[in-house]
Amino acid sequence: MTTENDARPAPPPTSTSIVLLTLAHRIETELGTALAPLGLTVSRLGLLGHIAGVPGASFSDLSRMSGISVQSIHAAVKTLAGAGLVRDNTARAGAASTIELTPAGSRLLEQAMTAVSDVDGRLFGADADPILRQVGDAVRAAFGD
């Protein structure tokens, strides 16, 4: 016989924030795994995407778009430049930087976006869990496809 003390408490109400954070963690893990063979992280992919999307972006522009400090952007861009993926077209010292992808950076970004597309297909495509397909459909409907 079950007594009141033996009863399990009801589960907490579903939190949209917690569900989305959990899903975001899964997506980031999947993307990280897919990008690793390319020598990229999710953060570096985002930075390359911002640089590609805003040719001639400054360090301050990239900081605002990424939500990362200017100092961290400087370090990340230095690493990307050292790898030959971006260049800073500053004409002279003291002038505002204009950062852009190199041809190698553009090729790597294209490869990375193929990896992202593969992850999208696995998580949200036709063969994915039906609930995740619905999430994918809702995101595409809300933000354009």
Q: What is the pLDDT of residue 20?
A: 93
Helix spans in 36-82 (H): 42-53, 59-66, 70-82
Determine which of 81-85, 97-101, 109-113 has the lowest per-residue pLDDT on average.
97-101
Residue 93 in this model has a pLDDT that exceeds 80: no
More confident of the two residues 83 and 10: 83
More confident of the two residues 145 and 35: 35
Phi, psi of 9 (to 5 degrees): -70, 155
At position 87, the amino acid (one-letter code) is R
Can you point out the beta strands (E) in the chain?
Answer: 86-88, 99-101
Antiparallel, parallel or unpaired: β 86-88 and 99-101:
antiparallel
| pLDDT per position as a tens digit, 28-47 | 999 999 999 999 999 999 99
Rounded alpha-carbon distances, angstroms, from residue 131 to 26, 33, 75, 100: 14, 23, 39, 39
Residue 80 in this model has a pLDDT that exceeds 70: yes
In contact, 45 and 35? CB cutoff 8 Å: yes
In contact, 77 and 87? CB cutoff 8 Å: no
Q: What is the pLDDT of residue 2?
A: 57
Q: What is the pLDDT of residue 85?
A: 96
Residue in 26, 52, 51 with CA at minimum distance from that of residue 119: 26
Residue 92 in this model has a pLDDT that exceeds 80: no
Q: Please provide the average confidence, as pLDDT, over all residues in the chain.
A: 90
Residue 96 in this model has a pLDDT that exceeds 80: no
**pLDDT category, 104, cuts 50, 70, 90?**
very high
Residue in 50, 52, 43 with CA at minimum distance from that of residue 72: 43
